[in-house]
Amino acid sequence: MYLSFTGKLLHMKKIIYVIGAGCTVFSCKPPSYSYVPTTLNTAAYSRGGEGHVGVLFGSAGLGAKGGIALTKNINVNIWGATLPSANNDYSSKEAEYSIGIQTNPDNHSVTSFIMGLGNGHNEKPRTELSGHFNRGFLQIMQSTIDNKIGSYVRVEGFVGLRVNYLDYTGTNNDKPLNDILYYYEPFFGFNIGGRNVRFELLQGLAMKNTGEWSQGVRVFPWFGHIGLLVKLRR
């Protein structure tokens, strides 16, 4: 079983490297986009009373996250990040609050349903973009929890989809930019390390409805982060 899981993890790593390399090249010149999506809080809990905190760096800038399982099936989570402006380019600040419901953590695997609300503001001085937004979302996720590789290494993997409802109010090039839209985020990733301290990597795509990509608020099509995750055990 360990060999099978290790093989899947190595295959996942190859996919992540390919997507990450492609998106890095693609994202070198993103002047037409008016909203860069945040990354996600992907916590799954093995028991009630368990918590986590983490720091991250990625498409949303510098961020932090945390959460706690109120019971083995219900949890609450927070997330926030800031992306500083460089050379009058895009900058943003955003916070997110959510409540999660997950299946019983049997056999180191759970399915999670997470509902929440994010809000923040962004700007891009060189295109005179400035706006405020609220973002409701529903996230569906399948996770493995605390799988062991050898005696000391533990790994968790996750894959899922988040559906976002973005309400944006602002201006762009001295013209009103007010839009309400849905966009969809398939994602996957993993964390690996010791029992409580782990390295985490997440990758995903952001997609508006077909035919709406170049209309209204233009959503940058990739998000991701690397980070450090700390499990808080009872």
Burial of 113 per CB tally in 10 Å (0-12, 13-18, 19+): middle
Q: What is the mean pLDDT of residues 210-220?
A: 90
Instruction: Give the H or E element holding residue 6.
Output: helix 2-26
Task: Quote the pLDDT of residue 31.
Answer: 52
Sorted by sequence, the CB contacts under 8 Å of residue 12 that are 6+ apart come out as: 157, 188, 190
Task: Dump pLDDT digits (tens) for 90-120.
Answer: 999 999 999 999 999 988 999 999 999 999 9
- The answer, yes or no, to whether residue 14 has pLDDT greater than 70, is no
Residue in the structure block whose two tokens are 């001295």: 174
The pLDDT tens digits for 147-186 are 999 989 999 999 999 999 999 999 999 899 999 999 999 9
Can you tell me the distance from the alpha carbon of 54 to that of 141, in angstroms, rounded to the nearest whole number? 19
The residues spanned by each domain of the chain are 2-232
Label residues 185-223 b or e (16+ Cβ within 10 Å = b): bebbbbbbbeeeebebbbbbbbebeeebeeebbbbbbbb
> So what's the pLDDT on residue 26?
38
% of the chain residues with pLDDT over 90: 77
How does the average pLDDT of the chain come out, rounded? 88
Q: In this model, does residue 47 exceed pLDDT 70?
A: yes
Reported confidence tier of residue 85, pLDDT bands at 50, 70, 90: confident
pLDDT in tens, 21-45: 444 433 444 458 999 999 999 999 9
pLDDT of 167 reads 98
Q: What's the average model confidence in pLDDT over 65-89?
A: 94
- If 0-12 CB within 10 Å is exposed, 13-18 middle and 19+ buried, where does residue 6 land? middle
Specify which residues 180 forms β-bridges with: 167
2-232 CATH choice from 2.60.40.10, 3.60.150.10, 3.10.110.10, 2.40.160.20: 2.40.160.20
Task: Tell me the whole-structure pTM to 2 decimals.
Answer: 0.85
Distances (CA, A) of 207 to 84, 148, 181, 182, 189: 24, 35, 11, 9, 18
